Amino acid sequence: MPAIEASGLTKIYRTYRKERGLWGSIKGLVKRRYQETRAADEVSFQIEQGEFVGFLGPNGAGKTTVLKMLSGLLNPTSGDARVLGFIPWERRNEMKRQFSLVMGQKNALWWDLPAQESLELNRAIYGIDRTRFKKVVDGLSELLEVEDKMNVMVRELSLGERMKMELISALIHQPRVLFLDEPTIGLDVVSQKRVREFLRIYNEEHRIVTLLTSHYMQDIEELCHRVLIIDHGKIFFDGPLGQIIDRFSGYKIVSLTFEKQATRDLSAFGEVIEQTPVSVQLKVPRAKVTETCRQLLEACHVSDINVQEVPVEDVIRQLFGERAGKARLERDGQS
């Protein structure tokens, strides 16, 4: 049985559209115009125990809405979902004790209390035995390297330290499911790396189901073997991260280093991405890579050649840009 299962999950927001000025306000009293927005549209997927899944999409795509429905914070307009066998929006205590939601832009800890006291409050709420609580907190704080910050006021912690404390708070009751919404947003490079390493180790040791949303592709590449991609409320890709390149990228990057300065125009072999007097990077259609490399070796004095895939981040950025353009054309055509 899957740990998380969503079937046709849909959330529609109905918003009032007011016309300008006083006359618009008066008209609104008599007859109101509403606009429906499908934040989630027939979302369906399954996640097995122990999986670490990335959830990708541009701003407003519906990622947070789906997480909130799976957490029981929002009721869906239609569709069904199960988390550990429970219906999330029934908010049963048995489920609440087995999942956690961490939102990078919202604080769960008390701002004016030391982190240790906020954690102690959560211990009382969850009814955790003190011995078990101390063992868990000591272990997590050691992994995250914040043992010396436990008695510091939350408001006096750095952003990275606060996020580490938020993770400890989310995991003290040892949940089986963890929802992470932008956990590394705003963190410096060192803090991001430490949080990623902690999440990887914790997932491996505890086999906890983890669903991660992030705009930092390095988070996804280092942690997630599988990704869900959502746009305009619809999931249009569900599979291994590597398949994104195979499915959506029609190009490869060919890097060349020359024995001496190249004098000929290399744009005939592909799109020039970067060029110096003795090197060049070309974007070449996948189907023509072999033939293009042969032609380059014959035409130039090449000392080194390297063929790479287009970075996943570039593929996804281009993909979202294309989909946004198509959506605009469809809206213009309808109007």
Q: Which residue has the higher pLDDT, 66 or 327?
A: 66
Q: What's the CA gap between 290 and 309, in Å, rounded?
A: 14
User: 1-32, pLDDT tens digit by residue?
Assistant: 799 999 999 999 887 777 777 777 777 777 77
Torsion, Cα 271 275 279 280, to 10 degrees, reads -10
Give 163-184 pLDDT, tens digit per residue: 889 899 999 999 999 999 888 8
Note the pLDDT of residue 328: 63
DSSP E strands in 32-123: the ranges are 33-47, 52-56, 78-83, 99-103
53 close to 220: Cβ distance less than 8 angstroms: no
Q: Supply the DSSP string of 192-206, one letter for each residue.
A: HHHHHHHHHHHHHHH
Q: Which residue has the tokens 């499908």?
A: 38
pLDDT for residue 326: 64
- Looking at per-residue pLDDT, the higher value among 324 and 186 belongs to 186
Give the start-end residues of each E strand in the chain. Answer: 4-17, 33-47, 52-56, 78-83, 99-103, 177-181, 209-213, 226-231, 234-240, 251-258, 271-276, 279-285, 302-309
**Residue 184's pLDDT is what?**
84
Would you say residue 132 has pLDDT above 80?
A: yes
| Structure confidence by residue, pLDDT tens digits, 271-313 | 888 888 888 899 898 888 999 999 888 888 888 999 888 777 7
pLDDT band for position 318 (cuts 50, 70, 90) = confident
Lowest mean pLDDT segment, chosen from 122-136, 276-290, 313-327: 313-327
Q: Please state, in angstroms and rounded to a whole number, the distance separating the CA atoms of residues 108 and 102.
A: 8
DSSP structure class, residue 153: B
Q: By three-state DSSP, how is residue 185 classified?
A: coil
Over residues 251-276, the mean pLDDT reads 86
pLDDT at 335 over 60: no
Mean pLDDT of 36-48: 91
Q: What is the pLDDT of residues 69-81, one digit of tens each?
A: 999 999 999 999 9
Structural domains of the chain ordered from first start? 4-245 (3.40.50.300), 250-309 (3.30.70.1150)
pLDDT at 296: 87
Mean of pLDDT over the chain: 86
Has residue 94 got a pLDDT over 70? Answer: yes
**pLDDT, average across residues 78-101:** 92
The more confidently predicted of residues 255 and 59 is: 255
Q: Give residue 333's pLDDT band: very low, low, confident or very high (50, 70, 90).
A: low
What pTM did the predictor assign? 0.78
pLDDT tens by residue, 236-257: 889 998 788 777 778 889 998 9
